Structure 1
Amino acid sequence: MDFPGYDGFLGSRASFMLDVVVVAMLFVVAALCWSIYEVRYRKRYTLHKRIQLTLAAILLITVTAFEIDIRLYGWEDRSAGSIGGSATPTVWKALYAHLIFAISSACLWPVVTYRALRRFPDKPAPSTHSRSHVFWARLAAIDMLLTAVTGWVFYLLAFL
C-alpha cells in the first residue's frame, strides 16, 4: 500500500500497529476472562494478581506504541482508501463510540489496580476491600470488553 507508516499484516488497509492492537485485544479479553474465572471459581488470588499486572503492562506498552503510530501517521487516509480522503460518517460514529469506552477504561484500570495493590495484602486474599474491588473490577472488565468490541467494529468499518 502507498500510505505513510508500516502496513499491517491482517490484509486490510490498517497500519501495523492497528493490526497489533486488534490481535492483542483478542488475547487481553481471553486472559481477562481466564483471570476472572481463576479468582472467582478457583480462589487463585495470586495468579489473578499476576495476570492483571501483566495485562496492565501489556496494555500500557501496546497503547503507547499505538498512540505514537497514530500521532505520526494518522489513520483517516488508510480508512478512506486514498491519501487526502476522508472517513465516512459511520466510521466516525464507530470511533466516537469506541473512544467513550477506551477513555473510561484508561481511567478505570489504573485506579482499580492501584487500589488493589494498596488495599490487599502482598499475598492476595479476601479482605475488607474485596466488596469494593469486585464492584469496580467488574465495571472495569465490562468497560474493557466494550473497548475491545467497539474497537473491532471500528476496525472492520474503517479498514476492510
Structure 2
Amino acid sequence: MIFGWIGKSKADEEAIRTFEDEIARQQDFVYGAELFFECISLLHEDQPAVVETHRKEFRNIIQKGTEVIEKAKAVLAEARNDRRKIEQIRQFMFTPCAGHPDPEKLMRRAKILVETCRRIFPGRSMSQELSREEILRLMEEAADAFHAS
C-alpha cells in the first residue's frame, strides 16, 4: 500500500512541475503578444487607425491570456494544498492567443520575439518596457526567424 502512495506522490509532483512549466510558457505567449503589438505599432506609427485596430485585438488577446494564467495559478495553489484536486491541473485547458485569426502563427511569432528579446537583452524583466530603439533592434534581430516561420 505504501508503494502505491509513493508512486502517486511522484506522479502528482511531476504533474505539478509540468503545469508550472506550462504556466511559464503561457506567460511567454502573452509577453510575446505584447512585444508583437509593440512592433506592429512602431511599423504603423503613421497610421493611427491601423494601430488602434491592432490595439483592440491584442488587448483582448493579452487580457484573456492573463486571465487564464491567473486561473491556472489558482488551480495550481489548490492542488498544492489539497492533492485530491491534482486532477484539476491535469484537465486544465490553456487557449494561447485566443481571439487571433491565426493563433498558431501568432504563437510562433510570440515565441521568436521572446527568445530574441532574452538573447539580446539578457536578464531583462518582462515588466520593463522597451524603448523605441530596443523595439527596432528586436525587430531587426527577429526578422530572419520570422521569415523562416
Greater helix fraction, Structure 1 or Structure 2: 2
| Structure possessing the higher radius of gyration over alpha carbons | 2
Q: TM-score range by the shorter chain?
A: 0.3 to 0.5
Relative to the length of structure 2, the TM-score reads: 0.36
Relative to the length of structure 1, the TM-score reads: 0.34
